[in-house]
Amino acid sequence: MASSSFHARKLGAAVSLLALVGPAAFAQAPDSTSDEDVIVVLSAPLQLNSDEMVGSVGVVSADQIERDLNGNIADTLDRLPGVNSTYFGPASGRPIVRGLGADRVRLLINGLGALDASSSSPDHAVSAEALGAQQIEVLRGPAAIAYGGGAVGGVVNVLDGRIPSERNEDQFDGFAYFGATSVDEGTQAAGRITADFNGLMIQFEGLKREGGNFDIPGFAETEALREEHHHEDEDHDEDEDHNDDHEGEHEEEEPAYGEVPDSDYTFETYSGAVSLVRDWGFVGLSVKETDAEYGLPGHDHAHEDEHGHEEGDEDHDEHDHEDEDHDEDHDEHGHEGEEAPRLVLDQTRIDLRGELNRDALFNRLRWSFAHAHYTHAELEEGEIGTLFRKNGFEGRIELAHDHGDNRQGALGLQVLTQDFSAEGEEAYIEPVTTQDWGAFVTERWDNGDWGVEGGLRVESRKLSGQRANRSFDTISGSASLFMRPDDAWFLAATLSRTERAPTDAEVFADGPHAATRAYERGNLDLDTEVAWSGEFTARFSGDRLTAEGNIFYADYDGFIGLFPTGEEEDGFDVFEYRQADTALYGFEALVTADLGAVRDWAIRGEAGLDYVHGDVDSGGNLPRIPPLSSNLALIAEHGIWSVRGEAHLVADQDETAAFETETDGYAMFNADVEITPFADHDVRVILGVRNITDEEGRVHTSFLKDQVPLPGRNFRIAVRTRF
């Protein structure tokens, strides 16, 4: 493992390069202009380009998604500054934005919630797929105010294109994609075809991605955890020496090496849609079916094994199955034939969306409605151990005015109702019904050299459980001032006050939760969480350089978190949802520069850097806060070729909470080549390798960081064609 000083030097070099790229680019003569397309942010109620947003926004195009594709949606977005992953293996990962996750980051599909259970547990996979999306938008901080207190961290909106909103250039349009990865012997395939019958659009789409256990450069467990298990096994052997019946039966388990057991996965998505597209807008309906099955790497059976064993066996049972490779080692522990736990997910989702454009005071009306039936079964020995169900409906209506002058605005209404239940061994929450409604208004006045923008949202949440009913009313608002000192600069400052109501799990949880390795207790007395936050954004767009930097600070009154109680129940440490005053602050920076040409190759550089820190006023740090990280890339383009090399540098994280361990930093180097071989056909071939040096890396924001490292060296090939 590399030393702290070595990683500090690497990150120092990253910061230096970030600072030096700008002056180097300014030194170039302004003899070229950017040919990048204008990027319109569709998630925001106001129709703005990405460089006009008062808050921080990241937009990932379909081409970028295909080139950066890396398993689930969170891992695919990890190049964006300020975005991390909960990383529960390659199957399950939810985006973390500025150190916040779960219900503080809204994961949306075309502006509506995913209506799955991914926010309730890190081992619950997201029902949204990156591959095939037309665009993914990440709104950070105040840019997400229109989506309420539940988006205090940010919004990740997947614009999946599953309802056609525009007519085809030809009668038939579509794409096909096929890829393969070496680290898990995985394959990815996706396709879409859209038929245009004079504006009546019919579309079908399918996607499948699968992989086996993925390779790693060493042990799955950290050295400290292996030593802990070794000492536990020695203590167990000493306790059994006096018992002739057990003599020779126990052997120390060989820790997993070279691959992560139970990290295989299969995801399938199929959808069909019909829409009517006219000059006035569109209206369409889609039906999507998502099925998945995957293993649970690092799954802890401690609470399961305690039942049905003698009291004297408890110490052995608490670590008997931790991180087993579920192969011949089962026999050594007396569990011959036991199957690894698996998770099976199924969701059927129906969406109705439309947009009406007219020449009137309010000239744009958008509506979206979605209903989903979701089940999530955790299988033990092929039988359902725990079954999660969620039935939900969400709707959103936006009415906007924008007539090309210096003022635009929007108002809207959003409603949600969902029933969530868990049955079985890990039913850590009672059945709960959540009912939300919210209304918002946002206005912007732009006078050219300067302008102001403001937003207000009122919300109500009702939680109905078996033990109690709780209701919460919240008000959130933001105000921004922006200016343009000259054509190249955009500066904005925003002050926000955000209120977030507690979630069903935060109020009603009461049971063992293997994914978080905790016995979780909700709190019926929780109040709303209030955050005052400020953000400053600076953007520069020159002939050969673009740059953006964001500095943010948030002060939370009554931050809701899981805090240890010092108790133990069902073999787990007990954590209780409580409120504490906290502060969260940090920055993000991204620079892109045209570095000139070398032998007819156009060279471009990119440098990103992000940092976040969380303090609890009573003392200590917020848990699972991502460390300082940097992403550096060089891209060379010539004709049909585009070559990219990059370094992803992550610092040590030693600013930890009392109950979590420190995480070593790492450096991963990636490279890929993109080829567009045909002038008359839109075909792309991608050849790439991630983690070239086969480095061990662990994600500090993951509950499995000490059991499951990142994948080792991975070769990838992909072919995509559009027609």
Nearest to 507 by CA among 560, 583, 564: 560
CATH code of the domain containing 607: 2.40.170.20
End-to-end CA distance of the chain: 48
The total of other beta-carbon atoms located within 10 Å of residue 651's CB is: 23
pLDDT confidence of residue 642: 97
User: At residue 311, does pLDDT exceed 50?
Assistant: no
Please list the residues that pair with 568 across neighbouring strands: 573
128-145 burial, b at 16+ Cβ within 10 Å, e below that, comes to bbbbbbebbbbbbbbbbb
Mean pLDDT in residue range 441-451 = 93
pLDDT confidence of residue 502: 96
Residues with Cβ < 8 Å from 148, sequence gap 6 or more?
106, 414, 438, 440, 457, 459, 474, 476, 500
Mean pLDDT in residue range 300-316 = 39
Q: How many Å apart are CA 581 and CA 534, to the nearest integer?
A: 17
Residues with Cβ < 8 Å from 255, sequence gap 6 or more?
219, 220, 221, 226, 229, 323
Q: How many Å apart are CA 541 and CA 708, to the nearest integer?
A: 41
User: At residue 390, does pLDDT exceed 90?
Assistant: yes
pLDDT confidence of residue 236: 60
H/E stretch holding 188: strand 186-197
Q: How many Å apart are CA 354 and CA 364, to the nearest integer?
A: 11
Tell whether 603 is covered by a domain.
yes
Residues with Cβ < 8 Å from 581, sequence gap 6 or more?
555, 556, 557, 558, 559, 616, 617, 618
* Banded pLDDT at 425 (limits 50, 70, 90): confident
pLDDT confidence of residue 100: 93
Strand 105-109 and strand 154-159: pairing? parallel
User: At residue 700, does pLDDT exceed 80?
Assistant: yes
Range in 322-331, 516-525, 708-717 with the lowest mean pLDDT = 322-331
Q: Is 161 left (phi over 0), alpha (psi -120 to 50) or beta?
A: left
Chain CA centroid to CA 228, Å: 32
Q: Are 648 and 627 in contact (CB under 8 A)?
A: no
Q: How many Å apart are CA 453 and CA 444, to the nearest integer?
A: 4
Q: How many Å apart are CA 83 and CA 506, to the nearest integer?
A: 24
Please list the residues that pair with 612 across neighbouring strands: 586
pLDDT confidence of residue 28: 37
Tell me the pLDDT tens digit for each residue of 662-676. Answer: 999 999 999 999 999
* Banded pLDDT at 697 (limits 50, 70, 90): very high
Tell whether 237 is covered by a domain.
no
> Residue 468, exposed/middle/buried by CB under 10 A (0-12, 13-18, 19+)?
exposed
* Banded pLDDT at 314 (limits 50, 70, 90): very low
Strand 545-569 and strand 135-140: pairing? unpaired
User: At residue 293, does pLDDT exceed 70?
Assistant: yes
* Banded pLDDT at 241 (limits 50, 70, 90): low
The total of other beta-carbon atoms located within 10 Å of residue 310's CB is: 7
pLDDT confidence of residue 325: 43
Structure tokens, 604? 């471009």
Tell whether 324 is covered by a domain.
no
Tell whether 527 is covered by a domain.
yes
Residue carrying structure tokens 């779960």: 102
User: At residue 307, does pLDDT exceed 90?
Assistant: no
pLDDT > 90 fraction of the chain, expressed in percent and rounded: 70
pLDDT confidence of residue 243: 56
Mean pLDDT in residue range 693-704 = 95
Structure tokens, 599? 């032998």
| Higher pLDDT among residues 23 and 507, named by residue | 507
pLDDT confidence of residue 514: 80
Helix (H, G, I), strand (E, B) or coil at 75: helix
Structure tokens, 563? 């805090």
* Banded pLDDT at 153 (limits 50, 70, 90): confident
Q: What are phi and psi of 466, to 5 degrees?
A: -75, -30
Q: Are 76 and 95 in contact (CB under 8 A)?
A: no
User: At residue 3, does pLDDT exceed 60?
Assistant: no
pLDDT confidence of residue 2: 44
| Higher pLDDT among residues 544 and 659, named by residue | 544
Q: How many Å apart are CA 289 and CA 173, to the nearest integer?
A: 22
pLDDT confidence of residue 321: 39
Mean pLDDT in residue range 626-644 = 97
Mean pLDDT in residue range 177-183 = 97
Mean pLDDT in residue range 7-18 = 43
Task: Tell me which DSSP letter residue 281 carries.
Answer: E
Q: Which long-range contacts (CB under 8 A, 24 or more apart) does 407-411 make?
A: 407/443, 407/444, 407/445, 407/446, 408/46, 408/47, 408/443, 408/444, 409/46, 409/441, 409/442, 409/443, 409/444, 410/45, 410/46, 410/146, 410/441, 410/442, 411/439, 411/440, 411/441, 411/442
User: At residue 313, does pLDDT exceed 60?
Assistant: no
Tell whether 37 is covered by a domain.
yes
Structure tokens, 549? 């930097």
Nearest to 590 by CA among 69, 61, 17, 10: 17
Q: What is the mean pLDDT of the chain?
A: 86
pLDDT confidence of residue 513: 84
Q: How many Å apart are CA 252 and CA 223, to the nearest integer?
A: 16
Q: Where does 389-457 have alpha helices with state H?
A: none
Mean pLDDT in residue range 369-397 = 93
Residues with Cβ < 8 Å from 228, sequence gap 6 or more?
none
Tell whether 67 is covered by a domain.
yes
Tell whether 249 is covered by a domain.
no
Mean pLDDT in residue range 158-171 = 95
Q: How many Å apart are CA 165 and CA 366, to the nearest integer?
A: 12
Tally of domains within the chain: 1
Tell whether 506 is covered by a domain.
yes
pLDDT confidence of residue 404: 65
Nearest to 264 by CA among 342, 190, 375: 342
The total of other beta-carbon atoms located within 10 Å of residue 620's CB is: 17
Its domain, for residue 464, covers: 4-213+260-299+340-722
How far from 281 is each of 159, 167, 276, 277, 399, CA to CA, in Å? 17, 11, 8, 6, 14
Q: Are 159 and 133 in contact (CB under 8 A)?
A: yes
* Banded pLDDT at 252 (limits 50, 70, 90): low
